[in-house]
A and B are shown apart, each in its own frame.
Chain A
């Protein structure tokens, strides 16, 4: 694993940009891919696929329920539909359809929700998905993926398209630090260990991965060696990695840009509780909606920074 040794991350593109580029790339070799859009293709970046493959692109207008249903029908015919909108709209407005038309018949529909989390900033809480991972976890058969940065999102998109069965991928709006090298390992359901350590484990996904690395760096200054896991796949969860972390480090902090009660933290805690109970703490959005504002200021105000992870870690040490 080529990981940058320090925490001076280079800024990369947004994960939505990486998704759009990877999707266009995949379209060149996979003629089955059909992209369905809810009139936000210039935000989700599916417009890059649309420009190249207009005959395999359908904008259904602002109608997420219908969007999901059309995806289901395409999949039933052997196409590989990638249906994308803002995470909150496709997951919330399209949820009954995701349940009945996609998850229940276990159809090969790939759902991508962009602008997830509070880091979208100024547009405010109506546009911020903080419950999308919970909703995806509420759909049996769904793989749930939350990639961290630009290079790993490229790999994640390819892996998702190769996998069979319904999947949800969450991508974000702002540019994010690059935590991986150019050609990262990426296997669905297998956590990536970005930093080794045996005093405590920091498990994170999405934009919280770089924050976790930053936190680990800060903890190291106090002589605490933190293991950092990028848990990019929330389901199927890498239970083995959680068990090893629990047994070898005895303490786990989970960090996610999502409601803290019902996302990555919950599934990690369940895995630990069942196989190797240990001390745990959780960083996420605490039982509230956020507000409009500068993304960095929002992350600070709502407790989603490296410092917040450090504080939780110290509470366990």
Chain B
């Protein structure tokens, strides 16, 4: 791989990479004894395709490379997902994953851009990542540059009004270099999204806000890759990908229970989970 040229795995390799990422998400959160593994597991295919499928332009040796694309994890509680991806992409050693959430570690409970290379925005107060992404997109426009900005949003996060302020602004200014990806895993902290605050129809909302909208199975690697490529190529308006996902994807007992939000697996649960993922 030459400098600045993204890693580009085949679909089969990406699927295997996703299995590695899931393993590491579970392991590092269980070592930490806290964190949000289920919110991280739902976005694995999206992040694998972005970083290892040739979509995102980046260079781990030069984290502030001016020509890089941006990935902003607006749902900051999915920090384990971001960290395992950045580690495997080469921003830092995978050994660091074991220090998650410990004092002195740059792998804080929620992403801190001041402490960890590859983190483009400090997040954790929901609703803010898309606006930050717009700032990056405006900066690129002013500089006549072609950086693309991907922002991963939670579906519980759609409750935040700031998301829709940003959605209107991106459409008004035709920010074609912005892609919002909604990790639509149907669950939030205290229940299913439809029970907490039923904001349906989500796809129609983003369409009404004048975004180019695709609705996909967020665990179908080929579909994810195709949607990301389409979004990056879209001209004249911003893109939104509604990725239907499963919270806790890959671990049956986590998938079945939204109460796993914000809970690490115990040592025993970790073993069961890794077995289900085919690791032991």
Contacts and interface: CB of A to CB of B under 8 A. Distances in A.
Instruction: Report whether chain A binds chain B.
Output: yes
Chain B contact residues, majority secondary structure: helix
B161 A77 contact: no
Nearest to A55: B142
A169 interface: no
Contacts, number: 102
A220 B124 CA distance: 56
Given A60-B165, A65-B127, A101-B132, A70 B138 contact: yes
Interface stretch (B49-57, B80-88, B114-122, B211-219): B114-122
B140 interface: yes
A272 interface: no
B114 A73 contact: no
B138 A66 contact: no
B40 interface: no
Contacts of A101: 121-122, 128, 131-132
Chain A contact residues, majority secondary structure: helix
Contact of B139 (A63, A79, A96): A79
Interface in A64-85: 65-66, 68-79, 81
Nearest to B149: A73
Contact of B135 (A55, A61, A70, A100): A70
A7 interface: no
B122 A66 contact: no
Contacts of A70: 131-132, 134-135, 138, 169
Contacts of A68: 131
B31 interface: no
Q: Which 5 A-B pairs have the closest CB atoms?
A: A73-B135, A69-B131, A77-B139, A66-B165, A63-B165
16 contacts: A34-B142, A56-B142, A61-B168, A63-B168, A65-B162, A66-B134, A66-B165, A69-B128, A71-B135, A72-B135, A73-B131, A74-B136, A76-B121, A77-B139, A79-B139, A104-B122
Interface of B: 112-114, 120-125, 127-128, 130-140, 142, 161-162, 165-166, 168-169, 172-173
Given A61-B168, A76-B132, A101-B131, 17 more contacts: A55-B142, A61-B169, A65-B128, A65-B131, A65-B161, A65-B162, A66-B134, A69-B131, A70-B134, A70-B169, A72-B132, A73-B121, A73-B135, A74-B139, A77-B135, A101-B122, A101-B132
